[in-house]
A = this chain, B = another copy of it.
């Protein structure tokens, strides 16, 4: 076959990039598990009627069809399968399906690809890996988990080789209470219009609120005044209070927002900040408490790379309702631009730390024993493919970034050379280990790394 071309929107990584991605996924897994989140994976497909329940993503779903299916097969939505476009819909279904076998509150993480037939652009792909955490409970869910989700992600970002990130939080109760307090009772519509601030500007939002929803100029300006508030501490609450609006939901939301800020105050650093941003609402209807968005500084054009919130009804089977709170990190969305700009890679393109040089084909058995001994110390090792001249074997290692070449000696002793420095020392295959930094490939990040 002729040399194939990439398919737009379906990114693939070279081995060194994949190593960097693996280390990101490893760090996420470690942080999530340290916080007691259990891994689940769901099938790639859901019945199409489930995927379309929210109504708004119908354009983006990939449906499946068996090539040799009967022509009348898969005509109705419940028997047609589609690839999931996020990990929330499958998780909600998994919770309902397995409710009797899960312990609630149930905290899970899920790292898997999702698919959307969107027009590809930087940071937006048709196939992309998401890393989600959620806590879900039966009937009631403690507010405490809204704090915890932010803390877990703070721990995670401290380990990730991303550009510095800013987490923006807001609270749906606060917004709803405020809008109701000023008499703008079509809360969902006001939110939808204020959410366009970035696109149409304050004047556009004010005009639309008046024209489309019949708000007074004063009400419209009050909506903008709220959206204009942001800050890192309880001063935010003072500024909201100064707007002079009163509603019980507003007070409750404001209190929750301040608790999220306070509880993450000590986790902030040069590369991770949390701010209350009262313009953030999240497009989706189902959020009912804290909402989160996260932007990488210098990469704001990607939009939020880590978003989520509290939802009072993640799922319901008619008898029991399952409230939850969760957040979803767009792993591919964040990594793709870092890779394509050459800002992130790994120190070598192979896990191999040692190449055992092959003095002669007859020595292969002995060389394999050296390799086995090194592996049993946890050192990734290959034997050279052929008994070529040592110069050629060393170049084999150099091209891959393998740091050490092992030379069995005629007298039965062994020497190992660091081919970067040229330093060569005697070594025992059963005892030698490399410096910790060389054992595995390390991440090379040109962006500011917080760890």
Contact = CB atoms under 8 A, between A and B. Distances in A.
B103 A45 contact: no
Interface stretch (A14-22, A238-246, A334-342, A410-418): A14-22
A68 interface: yes
Contacts of A99: 3
A67 B38 contact: no
Interface in A52-98: 53, 58-69, 81-83, 93-94, 96-98
Contact of A380 (B35, B41, B105, B127): B35
A108 interface: yes
A389 interface: no
Interface stretch (A169-177, A180-188, A275-283, A315-323): A315-323
A142 interface: yes
A5 interface: yes
Contacts of A22: 39
Contact of A3 (B42, B61, B96): B96
Interface residues of A, number: 89
Given A7-B45, A317-B3, A351-B38, A15 B62 contact: no
A133 to B, nearest CB: 12
Nearest to A5: B97
B61 A63 contact: no
A39 B68 contact: no
Contact of A36 (B5, B59, B155, B382): B382
Contacts of A207: none
B375 A34 contact: yes
A375 B35 CA distance: 8
A117 to B, nearest CB: 4
Nearest to A350: B38
Interface string A279-303: 0000000000000000000000000
Contacts of A59: 66-68
Contacts of A47: 7
14 contacts: A6-B97, A10-B45, A11-B43, A13-B40, A18-B40, A18-B41, A22-B39, A36-B351, A44-B127, A58-B68, A62-B64, A64-B64, A66-B117, A151-B368
A51 to B, nearest CB: 9
A277 B94 CA distance: 44
Given A4-B50, A34-B381, A378-B34, A44 B142 contact: no
